[in-house]
A and B are shown apart, each in its own frame.
Chain A
Amino acid sequence: MPADLARAVRADTGSGGDARPGVMTPALYRVVGRRAETDDVTTLALAPVVGGPMAFRSGQFNMLTAFGIGEAAISVSSTPHEDGPLRHTVRAVGSVTRALCNTPIGDVIGVRGPFGTDWGVGDTDSLAPVDASPSGDAPVTGGDFVVVAGGIGLAPLRGAVDELVARRARGGGRVFVVVGARAPSQVIFHDDLEAWARAGAHVAVTVDISEPGWSGRVGLVTSVLGEAGFDPGDATVLVCGPEIMMRFTARTLIDDGVDPNRIRVSLERNMECGVAWCGHCQLGPFLLCRDGPIVPYAGIVAHLLTQRER
């Protein structure tokens, strides 16, 4: 057994004289609030049973445990450094996520993390995980910032948008938020969208299918990009949503003149351990729980996203 794995196992099992919980031991968090975003999406507000608030960066994820059922990788939807509980926005698509969504206020779930890379728009401007040394990737600097979110993909981006809007108030670049959803009733974070617009961000929402009373845009997010108003020659773009949507969005952005090296996407594969041990989240040379989920689109990622998996 490799030495680092052995150390981690000893730490995790409390053996070897190290009583600290290891990375595979969930910390207990109590549900202190819950909000139904749509008919199948719930935001949970969590507070640690023991200890202080979690330090994380926008784009990172935690492994959430529904005890007796299982774990799921869920991105943090809070804003780093903001007061208040830790928030996770969960879509009920399987037994674990359904159980998480149904957890009543007062009950306890498990939280392991945070894991993975971030969007690179926080104060420290790094793509590296919190505990790792800076990756060497270029930090986000000036120009326009464009956030493109599809469906629940807005959840991992919420904190980043808050940070970008705050940065804009301090003289940073313009912020453009383009959100796509299946239908108007499936749009999440209405309050945030309105707050960002009031704070000066350019916010555009479009849906695939209209519903009675909807007077907004109908069409793909890619159809909105051209009229959004950002400068493609000096834009950093953060994209999160279904992988097909991210592929088409990235291609459209590049066709419109955005530098591929300034496009970042959030990738996901079967996150299980969250600490690069099990290999289930491998995508090419990446273990996405460690090297992602946020990765630069240019280069190998653009190639990998077109590979047909067997």
Chain B
Amino acid sequence: MTTSLPELVSAHPLLAGLPGDAVASVAGCAQNVAFDPGDLLLAESEPANTLYLLRRGRVAIEVHSPGTGPIVIETLGPGAAVGWSWLVPPYRWHFDARALDAVGAVAVDGACLRDKAQADPALGYELMKRVAGVLLERLQMTRIRLLDLYGTGSAR
């Protein structure tokens, strides 16, 4: 059974609960995509133009280091969202994102979504609330990781 784009959009935790017209609006900017293991979803310094809503498979957020190869900053799984730099200028990716498994995702065009949010402030506010929630959670997790809780002599 084929699932429609609006159904895929409304099923993702980031956008679950959005009103029907908002779902349709977001789905109008979206398409279903798939990546093989090892494929790059996005690359550092390239134009940032896509929000990926992960449906299956894991993605590694990486930074390339000469001599050591990619360093994994974080891994994200189904239900997570990947790619935020399309939100704010200069719309450039800061890291790489690589598929660790076969990845299925909904790819939402960032420019399309920005334009719709600009035209419909209610949609824009709803999206920003949800994005802010994810970014807050990621910031808090990053701060906790900086504490190095498992290190000797660190804050416990």
- Residues on A facing B (Cβ under 8 Å): 40, 91, 93, 150-152, 180-182, 186, 206, 208-210, 212, 214-220, 222-223, 226-227, 241-245, 248
Contacts and interface: CB of A to CB of B under 8 A. Distances in A.
Nearest to B13: A226
Interface string B121-156: 000000000000000000001001101111111011
Contacts of A150: 149-150
Nearest to A40: B152
Interface stretch (B2-10, B67-75, B88-96, B111-119): B67-75
Contact of B72 (A210, A222, A245): A210
B79 A226 contact: yes
Contact of A220 (B100, B144, B155): B144
B152 A244 contact: no
Nearest to B69: A212
A151 B145 contact: no
B28 interface: no
B156 A208 contact: no
A150 B69 CA distance: 28
Contact of A241 (B69, B149, B152): B149
B30 interface: no
B150 A182 contact: yes
Interface of B: 58, 60, 68-69, 71-79, 100, 141, 144-145, 147-153, 155-156
Contact of B145 (A93, A152, A217, A220): A220
Given A212-B69, A222-B141, A244-B144, A151 B75 contact: no
Main secondary structure of the interface of B (DSSP, over half): loop
Nearest to B72: A210
B150 A151 contact: yes
A242 B150 contact: yes
B72 A218 contact: yes
B78 A227 contact: yes
Contact of A180 (B78, B147, B150): B150
A245 B149 contact: yes
Given A217-B75, A218-B74, A248 B153 contact: no
Contact of B156 (A206, A218, A244): A244
B73 A218 contact: yes
20 contacts: A91-B152, A180-B150, A182-B149, A182-B150, A186-B150, A208-B145, A210-B72, A216-B75, A217-B58, A218-B75, A220-B144, A222-B141, A223-B141, A227-B77, A242-B155, A242-B156, A243-B156, A245-B144, A245-B149, A248-B144
B100 to A, nearest CB: 7
Contacts of B75: 206, 216-219
Contacts of B77: 227
B148 A182 contact: yes
A206 B79 CA distance: 17
Interface centre among A208, A209, A215, A248 (most CB of B within 10 A): A208
Given A186-B150, A248-B144, 4 more contacts: A93-B152, A208-B145, A210-B71, A212-B68
A241 B75 CA distance: 22
Contacts of B71: 210
Contacts of B144: 220, 244-245, 248
A248 B77 CA distance: 20
Contacts of A243: 156
A219 B156 contact: no
A93 B150 CA distance: 12
Contacts of A40: 152
